[in-house]
Amino acid sequence: MVTPAVPVRVGVLALQGDVREHVRALAAAGAHPLEVRHAAELSAVDGLVLPGGESTTIGRLLRVFDLLEPLRLAIAAGLPVFGSCAGMILLAREVLDAAPGQPLLAGLDVVVRRNAFGRQVDSFEADIDLIGVAGGPVRAVFIRAPWVEKVGDEVEVLGQVGDRIVAVRQGSLLATAFHPELTGDIRIHQLFVDIVVRNRGRRGQYR
């Protein structure tokens, strides 16, 4: 784990979903969390979390709050982003079984299947090993979860449930099909904070 002299400022997209849970986990991981609702607030953060929630609703609100295009530009300029569950869907370049008109940020070169593990009643937990996360398996909570059906050449697969890909990384972008913010285990948030710290000196046009 990289310990910054000055805590990195990590935003949490605060339009819908597990915002408070991510804020708590980021603070425990050594970051300074900020809630982000407007495009101007992107300039105040070194990284951003897209929380679990309802991807269609979050996508619609991105348009309502005029955040969709600024976020796309920020990601293209190198802003580190971590998406959990719905956040993974939003980060994908393509989504199967998506709602009509589903807006995507298209930062991750992956194809994701929405609600792949089933409906709310099919929610489950599993222990999975993740590349880059030390200390043994991570307890993963899956709620109407997606999975990754296809990855591009630059995408690293970090974790699977059986033969289903549930965690990936591409450069400074990280995504999980599950909800690490719900377990009290902050190791994935620590991994993302480390990514943000290592990226902080690379100032892109999202500043």
pLDDT digits (tens, 9 = 90+) for 184-198: 999 999 999 999 999
Question: E-strand spans in the chain?
Answer: 9-13, 32-36, 47-50, 81-84, 92-96, 108-113, 124-128, 138-142, 147-151, 156-161, 164-170, 173-176
Indicate the range of 3-17, 41-55, 134-148, 168-182 predicted with least confidence: 3-17
Burial of 134 (0-12, 13-18, 19+ CB in 10 A): exposed
Checking if the pLDDT of 207 tops 70, the result is no
86: tokens are 């719905």
pLDDT of amino acid 16 = 94
181 noted as active-site residue:
yes
pLDDT of amino acid 116 = 84
| Catalytic-labelled residue, pool 38, 41, 156, 181 | 181
21 noted as active-site residue:
no
pLDDT of amino acid 115 = 85
Checking if the pLDDT of 52 tops 60, the result is yes
Q: Are 108 and 173 in contact (CB under 8 A)?
A: yes
Indicate the range of 99-108, 159-168, 172-181 predicted with least confidence: 99-108
For the chain, list the domains and their CATH numbers: 9-199 (3.40.50.880)
pLDDT of amino acid 202 = 65
Checking if the pLDDT of 205 tops 50, the result is no
| Catalytic-labelled residue, pool 54, 149, 154, 179 | 179
85 noted as active-site residue:
yes
